[in-house]
């Protein structure tokens, strides 16, 4: 009977630990997805023509939980009168993506900070290396939405640059100005 009870306690503890780790891994994955979508919005703030036609359609994140995000795409562009622009319509208007730079950059910073805090707690086996204003987050393969995120912060803890390396080794990077405008991306 003692062995059965001991096994049961060990089994319940293992299941609880697995559920806890799974929840934590899901939280990191959700934040990575949020960061990725916001990064895409910010990088494409001036994209007036996509391969599908029309301007970039920004992600609208309704909520993120359990390792995923509920998302729609905003298809209502902002029209600007620029008759000499190559993408201007017959009336001289250019359709730009409806990206709110201030809002998306603020949420991007909050998400980067949250990932930094989760990394500091080594949630889901995440390793964090800090070197001055730079932070490297190395994720465990079980997260399955990225290998590494590298952030450079300014003195006010705003993100100046972000590089994401996915599980295939592909990189994407964004550099921001001091006011959050995208300076460059790849």
* Residues 24-33 pLDDT 10s: 788 999 999 9
Sites in the chain below the pLDDT cut of 50:
1-20
* Residues 26-52 pLDDT 10s: 899 999 999 999 999 999 999 999 999
How far is 11 from 82, CA to CA, in rounded Å? Answer: 66
Contact 138, 118 (CB under 8 A): no
Which two tokens mark 83? 């008759």
DSSP of 40-54, one letter per residue?
Answer: HHHHTTT----TTSS
- Output the CA–CA distances (angstroms, integers) from residue 60 to 42, 47, 56, 74, 98, in the order listed: 12, 17, 12, 6, 10
How far is 140 from 125, CA to CA, in rounded Å? Answer: 6
The residue ranges of every structural domain in the chain are 2-47+101-185
pLDDT at 10: 38
How many CB atoms are located within 10 Å of the residue 100 CB?
13
């Amino acid at each position: 009977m003692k062995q059965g009870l001991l096994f049961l306690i060990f089994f319940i503890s293992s299941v609880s630990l697995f559920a806890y780790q799974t929840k934590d891994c899901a939280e990191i994955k959700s934040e990575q997805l949020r960061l990725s979508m916001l990064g895409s919005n910010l990088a494409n703030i001036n994209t007036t023509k996509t391969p599908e036609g029309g301007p970039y359609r920004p992600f609208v994140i309704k909520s993120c939980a359990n390792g995923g995000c509920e998302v729609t795409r905003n298809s209502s562009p902002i029209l600007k009168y620029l008759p000499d622009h190559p993408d201007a319509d017959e009336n001289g208007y250019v359709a730009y993506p409806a990206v709110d730079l201030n809002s998306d950059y603020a949420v991007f910073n909050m998400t980067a900070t949250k990932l930094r805090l989760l990394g500091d707690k080594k949630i889901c086996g995440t390793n964090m290396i800090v070197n001055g204003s730079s932070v490297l987050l190395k994720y465990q393969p079980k997260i399955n939405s990225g290998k590494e995120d590298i952030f450079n912060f300014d003195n006010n803890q705003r993100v100046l640059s972000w590089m994401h390396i996915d599980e295939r080794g592909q990189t994407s990077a964004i550099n921001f100005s001091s006011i959050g405008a995208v300076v460059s991306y790849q």
